[in-house]
Structure 1
């Protein structure tokens, strides 16, 4: 039996060897394939988790932008309302009207300080409307009772003519002030929204890249990149490891809140005077006419054509010139008391990160996509003001369920409705100025955030230019800290916003992907 088996094995040893070889190779190949499949599954699962975490972090970043805008906006609103005191002008008009009625014996002079007079003519109704609809009563402003104009014997036609001129001037001031204030607040809100998106998304990108670098250099014990937001637990890790730089960078919104809004206001005021200057408070104005005049103001401020809007520069309103950067840091309390030299020079004491952030922010603001998105945000804001609030409150147009196209470059045309007196429109604008700046919830901010291109712009900022941003970090890790003397010589921006730039390419792809059809 044994010998027979040996003879069989001897005769078939070659086929058996081939068979075992095939089986062994098949087993090895099977294990290799299974290993590759397992690795691919793990990579796919890891990528899916990373993408989901990144998406959640991005969405959280956009929510942070909303809360930041709501926190910063009241500062600019207070400055604008304090500068354009529409309610004070309204009060002076009421006092003049009350003094006139007192001279005519229609009311008791002792009642002048107690409240607005009860009148029946058009001017009286207009002023009463302005006070009641503006939401701010004269008695709430702490304005002392003004002296009664013309208290005593009348001096004839000369004094009456002087009073009439003063009244017309007050009405003109009221007209320009109420329109300018509402429009300036819309521009300020749109600019602050975009600036905040740029700032927080640039810092959010740095946070992600910091995790990547820490993982690559063994700085993190965990084997995966943490994209969760634990900034509240450890503020030193907020938006990357350089918390002080990030804090100083965010401080530059001070310029828009305290300086930039004034330049915007002056530009808007000049346009309002040119467009609305010829209107009289006794004029009737239709909804269509007011929309057309509003559009004319926008053309003068933003540009009448697409080329003019692209050529417009908004950088001067959002960021200070380089020679004013140290002033901004000092005014906002960012001076380093513990600094050996006591200097706050960005180019010397702050090394390169803050300079790179400011340069990239400047390039993004000067880019064509910024102007494009800003136009859409302004379309949304003006649509809320004109097509909703003014049409419903001044012209009594019933609200419709139709969703307005926020991507239209012009204000939506309105149907013909009965014209109203200009002071009625001014009353709505006076009240809406407070809603734009301090509304809870802020309908104007909500309408701007519904613009799809705003999120696309934020996503491009968040995801673009990673190579250039991570290169300086790698150089620091490899070569050690950068000497401040090397930075003091100056550095060109790491972003080239041009026709063939990576940002433009990424923005074009984002817009094409988001376009239906």
Structure 2
């Protein structure tokens, strides 16, 4: 029997060999497939974690942008209010009216009357050029009894000088009109420009932080440190590692917003004032106009400031208002307290950040988003605040553009002086550092978040931290921030070999997805 079994195995040994080979190959193939599936699952999990981490960092960045704008906006507001002291002009108008009342009704009666408002003052002398000031001298300017002849002569000379320098009511009302409108419009431009500048700055630095974190985690550890516990904190709560590892450069870069807060906003005043004078110069404060007419005048001012056509708006240069010229950078760093002297202190890393920021500001996408932000801010001022406070149109719908149509506001008229009073009060709301309704409306523009997402998730070659020990490391961005605004998985070597700037390409893709997706 044993011999028969041996002969049977000998006759079928070929079949046994083939069967064993098939079973072995099947086992190896199964193990290979299972390994690939496990690897794919692990990779998908890592991509999901990386994408969620990127999204979380991006959302935190946008919140930081909001808080930053609210923190530094009052600085620009104070400078603009000081440059256009509308309240002083109003006080002078009220003082002159009180003096006229004192002469007409007597000191005992005027002492019990309340101070006149802007509209009351307009009703009394609302810019009538035919009315001239008289030679009234205040009681405090009269020489007291017992004064020497020399002192009395000096007092008379002082009164004469004040009489000559005293402005007419028409001049004061013209200054009041131009100043109140210019101030409100300048603050709107400053708010929108500061919002965009802050988004660019913090998202560029946030991108650097993200890349530094990814590369530090992906770089191979030295063999002798395999068993060592690493206590390095690569998350957002590490202050020293926040926004990359060059903290001093980041501080200097952020301090460049000093230019807009102290110099750019003042330059904006001149630009806006010229446009306001051309459009509102001949408008009488006592005149009654419709809200539609006021909207048209506001649009005319914007056309003169931003450009009347799309081509003019695209070529409009906002960079001089946002960043200092290279010759002034050291002076700005010194003025903001980032350097002890005005000598050149711009490093290569800082220069790279400034250059990329300048390129973004000069890009057509920046102008496009800025126009949308200005649309939202001006609409809130004219179609919501002035229509409700000056024209008494009730806010019956969130769609402010249709308020007039719903309640029949097209035929409602109001005096220009009433609107001037709203312009004066709203200037403080536009530049407020807390509960800023205008900033809320601006941040509701979807293109703003899309623009920030493209800045955050594109142009990685500017900050690719490729060095020793990091070659071949792929920077994972998932599908980009907020549902595919980035460029997918970016390999450092491939990105460095590209010559074209992918920002505009990424921005084009973001706009293409606007109709189908919510940013």
Q: Deviations over 1:259-281 (max 9, x none)?
A: 00001111000100110000112
Tell me if structure 2 keeps the 8 A contact 1:77–1:185: yes
TM-score calculated relative to the size of structure 2 = 0.80
* Shift >6 Å, 4+ stretches: 118-122, 148-152, 161-165, 219-223, 476-479
Q: CA deviation at 1:353?
A: 0.7
d(CA) in 2 for partners of 1:118, 1:55: 52
Q: Is the 8 A contact 2:219 2:470 kept in 1?
A: no
Q: Which residue of 2 aligns with 1:200?
A: 202
5 Å-filtered alignment, 1:120-159, equals 123=122, 147=138
Taking the TM superposition and a 5 Å limit, the aligned residue runs for 1:478-489 are none
Shift of 1:123: 3.1
| Residue correspondence of structure 1 range 401-420 to structure 2 within 5 A | 401-403=397-399, 415-420=409-414
Equivalent residue, structure 1, for 2:191: 189
Shift of residue 358, structure 1, vs aligned partner: 0.3
1:90: Cα distance to partner? 1.0
Task: Indicate the residue corresponding to 2:115 in structure 1.
Answer: 116
- Structure-2 separation of matches of 1:235 and 1:108: 66
Matches within 5 A, 1:300-379: 300-335=304-339, 344-347=343-346, 350=347, 352-379=348-375
Measured in 2, the distance between the counterparts of 1:101 and 1:118 equals 14
Deviations 1:70-99 (A, max 9, x none): 001000001111111111111111111111
Counterpart position of 2:244: 240
Shift of 1:319: 0.3
Partner of residue 387 from structure 2, selected from 385, 391, 398 = 391
Q: Secondary structure at the match of 1:24?
A: helix
Query: Do the aligned residues in 1 keep the contact of 2:102 with 2:110 (CA within 8 Å)?
Result: no
Are 1:433 and 2:435 an aligned pair?
no
Please give the alpha-carbon distance, in whole angstroms, between the structure 1 residues aligned to 2:77 and 2:468: 42
Deviation readout 1:37-93 (Å, 9 max, x if unpaired):
000000001101110110011011001000000001000001111111111111111
Q: CA RMSD in A?
A: 3.4
The equivalent residue for 1:411 is none
* TM-score, with structure 1 as normaliser: 0.81
The reply to whether residue 400 of structure 1 matches residue 396 of structure 2 is yes
Q: 1:27 to 1:344 in 2, by over 3 A?
A: farther
Residues 83 and 149 of structure 1: is their aligned pair in 2 closer, same or farther, counting only changes over 3 Å?
farther
- Equivalence for 1:482: none
Give deviations 1:116-144, integer Å, cap 9, x for gaps: 159996636899xxxxxxxxxxxxxxxxx
Cα distance between partner residues in 2 of 1:468 and 1:250: 18
Aligned residue for 1:301, secondary structure, equals helix
In 1: Cα distance, 2:328 partner to 2:263 partner: 11
The number of residues matched between the two structures is 454
Cα distance in 2 for residues equivalent to 1:440 and 1:118: 27
Please state whether the residue corresponding to 2:308 is helix, strand or coil.
coil
CA displacement 1:359-393 (0-9 Å, x = unmatched)? 00011101100100000000000010001000011
How big is each residue's C-alpha offset from its partner over 1:308-337, in whole Å with a ceiling of 9 and x where there is no partner?
00010000000000000000010011115x
Paired position in structure 1 for 2:502: 502
Distance 2:188 2:125 in 1: 25
Instruction: After TM superposition, give the deviation of residue 237 of structure 1 in Å.
Output: 0.7
Is 2:270 the counterpart of 1:266?
yes
Q: In the alignment, is the contact (CA less than 8 A) between 1:65 and 1:197 conserved in 2?
A: yes
| Aligned partners of 1:235 and 1:243 also within 8 Å | no
SS in 2 for 1:78: helix
Q: Which moved more, 1:379-388 or 1:77-86?
A: 77-86
Task: For residue 4 of structure 1, report the CA deviation from its aligned partner.
Answer: 3.1
- Paired position in structure 1 for 2:291: 287
Distance 2:8 2:401 in 1: 88
Q: State the match for 1:100 in structure 2.
A: 100
Deviations 1:460-490 (A, max 9, x none): 11111112421xx3258899xxxxxxxxxxx
2:431 counterpart SS class: helix
How far off is 1:208 after superposition? Answer: 1.1
Tell me the CA shift for residue 6 of structure 1: 2.0
Q: Report the counterpart of residue 257 of structure 1 in structure 2.
A: 261
